Amino acid sequence: MKTPKRHTITAALPYANGPLHLGHLAGVYISADIYARFLRSNGEDVAFICGSDEHGAAITLRAKKENKSPKDIVDEYHFSNKDIFEKLGISFDIYDRTSSKHHHETAQELFLEMDKKGAFVKKESEQYYDEEYQQFLADRYITGQCPKCESQGAYGDQCEKCGSALSSSELINPISTLSGKSPQLKSTTHWYLPLNRHEKWLSEWIQKGNL
């Protein structure tokens, strides 16, 4: 008897900060579902896994806007989106959430193991810091004047008016969206994963038909 191939399939984890729309479904989940169903119909062993992404600036910004806690936001949209997937018949074997305890533990275990093996490059750099809130600011927590088109309200990663990709240090008169005050630049350490180290073996692995 032929041993079935084992496949792990996933799709982009939807942010739990708003409802799904047809673009999400058509662009990501329906196509992945079709592939999972195709493999199952051919007797393959398939694990189709996905879940809600419940970390990130988009969630905390929405919580602030609606005067709710981030947990209130992710709870609302995780269960709403999961219900939509079920009603549409998207055949996930597991639909979980990144706020779960076992996800935190698994992510931490993977990170610490990679760090122990020297997989990361640590670099110190300056990042905007909100003194009042005592935290470093992600790009979306900073707004200011766009250096390209001079419009107000550009974010630290992009100007929504002219579409220019930016870095927060380029903004003119930057303001923290948390406190509404000017943030200060402070030194902090970041961990980078240099993917160029893995180009050779990954290229060979793909060329051998492992996808």
pLDDT digits (tens, 9 = 90+) for 137-188: 989 899 999 999 999 999 999 999 999 999 999 999 999 998 999 999 999 9
Token pair for 12 = 């982009």
Q: Both tokens of residue 116?
A: 């122990």
Instruction: Write out pLDDT tens, residues 106-118.
Output: 999 999 999 999 9
- Model confidence at 3, pLDDT cuts 50, 70, 90, reads confident
Give the confidence band of 97 by pLDDT, cuts at 50, 70, 90: very high
- Long-range residue pairs from 107-112, CB within 8 A, at least 24 positions apart, any chain: none
pTM: predicted TM-score of the whole model, two decimal places: 0.78
Q: What domains sit in the chain, N to C, each tagged with a CATH number? A: 6-116 (3.40.50.620), 131-191 (2.170.220.10)
Residue 1 has pLDDT above 70, yes or no: no
**Pure H helices in 49-92:** 57-65, 70-88
